[in-house]
Chain A
Amino acid sequence: MKLKQLEGHLGSLQQFSNPKIELEQYPTGPHIASRMLYTAENSFGDVANKVVADFGCGCGTLGIAAALLGAEHVIGLDVDAQSIEIASINSEDLELDVDFVQSDVRNLRWRGPIVDTVVMNPPFGTRKKGADMDFLFAALKIASQAVYSLHKTTTRDHVKRAALRDYNAKSAEVLCELRYDVPQLYKFHKKKEVDIAVDLWRFVPQRIQGKGF
């Protein structure tokens, strides 16, 4: 599938009707989401024929993008039932088969690292400090191949240090810097639209031969 086609499909998805600020629900726009998954597949081969998990899937954009690019099994996880409902409608509309699990990714327990790739647009932790790092910690525990994630550019050094030193990542690389346009979703937003700089990261987990944890 071409990048433009992917972006087009993602642009048709239904987004949050009543976003919840405590969960930092911001939609991942089709522009960013398509580039994220397209890169994961075309530069690294981390999507097609793989098991992909979307952490904090919201309305399902990243997981759906993975399914469109040929992921064999996609699991979308979110704490919020309403989001999962929309995500599930979105995937059905595109005739995709995505499994959703309502859960907090920070305390879900997995039998082992049998997810190949985790993709996520975690809460940036502006409302709840460190939320994005909790997601990253959980993702690096269960991914066997790679974790793709978005983090604010201002936190770049911190993210790198924590991933390599504390979360046992083998590598942590910024693939590109993107503009994340935050639409005026919540009442406390004063400006109509703001752009924030975010990094698209690719992390490679350290896996000891055999069962990794």
Chain B
Amino acid sequence: MRLLTHNMLSSNIKGVTNGFPLRIEVQKVIEKPVDFNPDFLRHMFPMIDWNALVEASRTMGYPDLPDSADAAMLDSDDFLQRFHHSLLELHLEEGALLCPETGRRFPVTKGIPNMLLHEDEVEVSGARAPGKLSGIALFVLSLLPLHFFSHLQ
């Protein structure tokens, strides 16, 4: 798993409000060189959470990113090379991702994180979720006895 993927994922456990960034537990890091593509890096830069990338990169044994970065740095080839290396070439091969709020561990095996949840960790969401109800409405609904909803099944 590349750090670009890590920069996108958030802990998805029910009730967690601050699920990003996932902490990284490292057992094995590998490097896979890819072609340097400055245009892609410039395209991605505004979308990257820089602090999370710096932290993750350090954990993976690559401390060469500056603590803060702004768009002006994208003119520097040296900066782009470092950004490139940390974003696309470092792979977490074995280890885990940890939810920053609950500490729940998502194992990473052969580079593949397992983000599957247990049934009781799943938030009710998706196309048919009551997404537009406010928190209060949901609270009121939760007070109603279950059989009230039985006709909806």
Contact = CB atoms under 8 A, between A and B. Distances in A.
A75 B37 CA distance: 18
B125 A107 contact: yes
Interface string B1-33: 110110111111000000111000000000010
A17 to B, nearest CB: 18
Contacts of A166: 127
Contact of A99 (B2, B43, B114): B2
Contacts of B47: 112, 114
B112 A101 contact: yes
A108 B13 CA distance: 9
Given A97-B32, A101-B5, A79 B116 contact: yes
A165 to B, nearest CB: 12
Contact of A73 (B2, B49, B123, B128): B2
What range describes how many residues of B lie at the interface? 35 or more
Interface string A132-176: 011011100000000000000000000000100011000000000
B3 to A, nearest CB: 10
What range describes how many residues of A lie at the interface? 20 to 34
A106 B117 CA distance: 11
A162 B128 CA distance: 11
B127 A101 contact: no
Contacts of B115: 101-103, 108
Contacts of B34: 97
Nearest to A137: B127
Interface of A: 49, 51, 72-73, 75, 79, 81, 84, 88, 97, 99-104, 106-112, 114-115, 130, 133-134, 136-138, 162, 166-167
A103 B116 contact: yes
Q: State the 10 A-B residue pairs at the shortest beta-carbon distance, nearest first.
A: A103-B115, A137-B127, A109-B12, A109-B10, A114-B47, A134-B126, A72-B40, A102-B114, A133-B127, A99-B5
B39 interface: yes
Contacts of A51: 4, 44
Contacts of A73: 2, 4-5, 88
Nearest to A166: B127
A100 B5 CA distance: 9
B110 interface: yes
A103 B128 CA distance: 19
Contacts, number: 96
A186 to B, nearest CB: 24
A114 to B, nearest CB: 4
Given A100-B112, A101-B115, A136-B127, A111 B20 contact: yes
Nearest to B112: A100
Nearest to B114: A102
B9 A108 contact: yes
Given A49-B39, A104-B117, A111 B7 contact: yes
Contacts of B100: none
A114 B32 CA distance: 22
Contacts of A72: 37, 40, 88
A103 B1 CA distance: 14
A104 B116 contact: yes
Nearest to A100: B112
26 contacts: A51-B4, A72-B40, A72-B88, A73-B2, A73-B88, A79-B116, A81-B114, A97-B34, A99-B1, A101-B9, A101-B112, A102-B113, A102-B115, A103-B12, A103-B116, A106-B126, A107-B117, A108-B12, A108-B115, A110-B9, A111-B7, A111-B21, A112-B8, A130-B128, A133-B128, A162-B127
